[in-house]
């Protein structure tokens, strides 16, 4: 039980909420990309990775910049 408390206390609530919204948005974005393109699975995965991953990185950078 103490382990769960220490893990829960280290979670950044702001990033947790933002990443939750980004997760849902990423699913819709990936679905849209998949419906528009007719590529094989690995090409779609690469395209989604190259589009979605920088968004998460940008959120992390912006949080560090503006949370101070």
pLDDT tens digits, residue range 18-54? 888 888 888 888 888 888 888 888 887 887 788 888 8
Q: Is residue 5 part of a domain?
A: no
2 part of a folded domain: no
Query: Does a structural domain hold residue 32?
Result: yes
Per-residue confidence band for 60, with pLDDT thresholds at 50, 70 and 90: confident
Q: Which residues constitute the domain of residue 55? A: 12-66
* 56 located within any domain: yes
Q: What is the pLDDT of residue 68?
A: 67
Residue 12: per-residue pLDDT: 76
Is 6 part of a structural domain of the chain? no
Q: How confident is the model at residue 1, as a pLDDT? A: 75
What is the tally of structural domains in the chain?
Answer: 1
**What pTM was estimated for this model as a whole?**
0.59
Asked if 18 and 59 touch (Cβ cutoff 8 Å), the reply is: yes
CA distance 8 to 27: 26
CA angle 25, 56, 68 (to 5 degrees): 120
Instruction: Tell me whether residue 4 is in a domain.
Output: no
Residue 3 included in any domain: no
């Amino acid at each position: 039980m103490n382990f769960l408390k220490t893990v829960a206390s280290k979670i950044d609530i702001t990033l947790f909420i933002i990443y939750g919204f980004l997760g849902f948005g990423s699913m819709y974005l990936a679905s849209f990309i998949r419906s528009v393109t007719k590529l094989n699975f690995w090409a779609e995965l690469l395209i989604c990775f190259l589009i979605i991953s920088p968004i998460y990185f940008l959120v992390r950078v912006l949080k560090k910049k503006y949370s101070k």
